[in-house]
Amino acid sequence: MPDALTITIIFIVLVALVGAFVRRLRRDKCLTDFSKNMVTLEETNGKTSWGRLRVENTGLELIYPERHQDQDGHEEASYILYKFEYPNIQALVRYHDQLSEAHKKARQKELKRTYHPGLLRRLRRRILNVFKTVRDSVIEVLNIAMTAAKKASPAAGVLASQDKYVSQMKQELMGSVGTSYEPLLERYIGNKVVLELIRGDKVIEYCGVLKEYTADFVEIMDVDYKLAEGPGRKVDLVVPRKYGVVRHLGE
C-alpha cells in the first residue's frame, strides 16, 4: 500500500488537474448567451459601458467598437469587469437595433426555438436536469462513503489527512455547474413572464420570454425596455437574481 506521502502527492496532483479543467470550462450560461454580441452593461452606481461581450470564467470584457480617450486623456479599448465585481451589475442589455444582421438572424432563430419549445427541446432539458440531480446524489454518496471509510478502514488516518484536498475537489465540481435548479422557474422556461427589477428604491416590471436562469442570473428575451420618458426599445436582458425576480406568468 502506498505511504501517506505518496497518497498526499496523488491527491494534490488530482485536485490541481480537476480544478484547472473545471475553472477553464466554468462560464455562466446566461452571460455566454450574449457572448460576441454588442451589449450595454448597466451597473448599480449608474455607470454604463457598451461593446462586444467576451465572457471568461474570471469575468467579462466589453470590447469597444473604437478606441476613445477618457477624461484623463489616455486611450481605452475595452472595459473589464471581474467576477468578484458581478454584484455591481444592474443589467446586461442587448439592444436589437445594435446587433449586426448575422446576430439579428441568430437571435431571431434562438427566440423561435425558445418560445414554446418543442418536444425534443423540452426532453433535452429534462434529461440535463436529471443528470444534475444524479450528480448531486453521487457527491452526497461519496460524502457518506468517505465518512464511513474514515471510521472503519485501517487507512482511516491517511484518509483523514486528505480531507482538505477531497473537500477542495468537491467544491470545484459543485461550482462547475452554472445552473441552480429551480422548479418554480423551470416550468416557465419558454413562456412569457413578468420580471420585477429592483432599481434603487424602485421596482420596475418587464415582460418577456424566460430563456434561461443560473445560480446568479436570469435571462429574458424580447422585452420592451425603457429607462426614462420616451419610446421603449426591444431588448434581451440578463439580470442578477439579486435584483431581478420572475414574479408572474405573463400569458
Instruction: Report the range out of 13-27, 60-74, 156-170, 192-206 with the highest average pLDDT.
Output: 192-206
Specify the higher pLDDT residue, 106 or 21.
106
Residue among 186, 182, 135, 161 nearest 22 (CA): 135
| Contact status, residue 217 vs residue 206, Cβ threshold 8 Å | no
47-56, 60-69, 176-185: the lowest-pLDDT one? 176-185
pLDDT mean across residues, the chain: 81
| pLDDT band per the 50, 70, 90 thresholds, residue 166 | low
Residue 12 amino acid letter? I
CA angle, 183 then 187 then 191, to 5°: 140
Residue 14 has pLDDT above 80, yes or no: no
47-56, 119-128, 162-171, 191-200: the lowest-pLDDT one? 162-171
Residue among 202, 211, 192 nearest 249 (CA): 192
Range 29-34 average pLDDT: 95
* Number of neighbours of residue 50 by Cβ within 10 angstroms: 17
Distance from the first to the final alpha carbon of the chain: 64
Residue 19 has pLDDT above 60, yes or no: no
| pLDDT band per the 50, 70, 90 thresholds, residue 178 | very low
Residue among 209, 163, 124 nearest 15 (CA): 163
Residue 231 amino acid letter? P
3-class DSSP state of 34: coil
pLDDT at 217: 95
pLDDT at 177: 45
pTM, two decimal places:
0.75
| pLDDT band per the 50, 70, 90 thresholds, residue 129 | confident
Specify the higher pLDDT residue, 195 or 251.
195
Residue among 37, 170, 165, 173 nearest 106 (CA): 37
Residue 245 has pLDDT above 80, yes or no: yes
Q: Residue 190 and residue 125: Cα distance in Å, rounded?
A: 11
- Relative to beta strand 48-56, strand 38-43 is antiparallel
| Contact status, residue 73 vs residue 94, Cβ threshold 8 Å | no
Please name the helix (run of DSSP H) or strand (run of DSSP E) that holds residue 61, with its range, or none: strand 59-69
pLDDT at 148: 58
Category of 46 on φ-ψ map: left (φ > 0), alpha (ψ -120 to 50) or beta:
left
Residue 6 has pLDDT above 70, yes or no: no
pLDDT at 39: 97
204 Cβ neighbours under 8 A, 6+ residues apart: 196, 197
Residue among 93, 99, 63, 96 nearest 81 (CA): 63
3-class DSSP state of 123: helix
pLDDT over 90 for what percent of the chain? 51
| pLDDT band per the 50, 70, 90 thresholds, residue 119 | confident
Q: Residue 208 and residue 227: Cα distance in Å, rounded?
A: 16
Please name the helix (run of DSSP H) or strand (run of DSSP E) that holds residue 156, with its range, or none: helix 156-161
